[in-house]
Amino acid sequence: MKCKALNKQLNDSTFFIIFAVVMELPVAFIEQIKALLPNEHEAFFKAMDEPSPVSVRLNNKVAITPTYPQVPHCQTGYYLPNRPVFTLDPWFHAGVYYVQEAGSMYLEQVVRKYLFGSEIIIDSPNHQITKSPKRSEFRALDLCAAPGGKSTHLASLLGDDSLLISNEVMPQRAHILAENATKWGYGNMAVTNNRPADFGKLAGYFDLILTDVPCSGEGMFRKDEKAIEDWSPAYVLECAERQRSILTDVWPALKQDGLLIYSTCTFNKAENEDNIAWIAQELGADILESRHFYFHTDQSEGLFMAALRKTAPAGSTRIKDVKSKGSISQNKNILIDPEHWCLKEDKDLIYALPKAFEADFTLLDKQLRWVKKGMGIATIKGKNSQPHIDLALSRHLNPSATTSAEIDRITALHYLKGESISLPDAPTGYLLLTHRGVPLGWCKNIGNRCNNLYPDAWRIRMNIPDTLCTLPF
């Protein structure tokens, strides 16, 4: 998919014919971009021949002061000079950072401005100050959330006082979403596997709905040849229609004056400007802002993001102030703060829910299919219990209440691969394994070896090389 400088001695029409052949871009797409960017299309197509930028967003699990260039619209986003083998970095698996396109991080600006009503002050290229939001408690839905980039970002922005439901309609992708949610470590981030219409029954429940809707994927053309193969003008219209259907189904769940964030990874008007105009007119909303990210103007893949304020009346879902069944004695709560969490038991699982939203979960139990609810604490094994991976990776873990063992990078990678490791100098019993001070997961040390308790589905599949690449942090 390279076209380096083919246009240097060619006229415009010849260039685009050759460009279409070499890049294997549909001619209809080329004509679409020329109409959309009449004065910038050559720069756009040249940028498609450039390497994709590599950007990451940091969690707050460990204090890091990067020297990399900052993503201008995200306080915790940074550009890396190259793409390391992230699989060989234990901190990647521990949720210290998330690899994400920089354009998607613009979510931060939209949330701070239109949900929090806070002002963002940038006093230097690498430093931002944000005034405190007017409110701190929100109920939010990320409707099409897998694999979890925007959801984990939203969890960080909302903090501990809000409730975030992250949904994915495809079951396999929902489990990937749950994995990334667990690694990010926020216990008030739940994962569901529902259709948009299921949420529509929760009239006026959400303050914020984020819809990163399935689209024709034009913004991924630079790095995904399959997206190019699948594209056609008819497919664009099909996607636009499906997006309107999704919004129609979920719209009743957004309260009046609530915030809708609509995004796609595509460029065309049908899926972007035309659709948000349709939402405003047909569903009832004010368009607050819309923003395109292009290959040639932004260090990102392609993205469109818009913010809308719902003006249409909405019903109201009553949240009864009752406690759900399954509560267990708080004296078992030794690893988390009992003031903010309540423990529950469901079959062989002990888990924790944020007390502020205990009644919400009673309501949502009747409407939603949970993939991950609350924070797992322990799995019951007969008369004993085994600590849960949720707890190991949670930012709510009380480290002083457990026994940990620090391991080096090679040992960490073999542990993350699911292999048996040996810790002869460590205490026997359940151990929280850490690397460079960051928890990775549990093992049970029985003396001559450790039983590896890292989840099977998460394990590294590649071979661990003898010589390891440089780490990004």
Three-state DSSP string of the chain: CCCCCCCCCCCHHHHHHHHHHHHCCCHHHHHHHHHHCCCCHHHHHHHCCCCCCEEEEECCCCCCCCCCCECCCCCCEEEECCCCCHHHCHHHHCCCEEECCHHHHHHHHHHHHHHHCCCEEEEECCEEEECCCCCCCCEEEECCCCCCHHHHHHHHHHCCCCEEEEECCCHHHHHHHHHHHHHHCCCCEEEECCCHHHHHCCCCCEEEEEEECCCCCHHHCCCCHHHHHHCCHHHHHHHHHHHHHHHHHHHHHEEEEEEEEEEECCCCCCCCHHHHHHHHHHHHEEEEEEEEECCCCCCCCCEEEEEEEECCCCCCCCCCCCCCCCECCHHHCCCCCCCCEEEEEECCEEEEEEHHHHHHHHHHCCCCCEEECCEEEEEEECCEEEECHHHHHCCCCCHHHCCEEECCHHHHHHHHCCCCECCCCCCCEEEEEEECCEEEEEEEECCCCEEECCCHHHCCCCCCCCCCCCCCC
Q: Any catalytic annotation for residue 265?
A: yes
Q: Which listed residue (74, 144, 239, 265) is catalytic?
A: 265
Which residues are catalytically annotated?
265
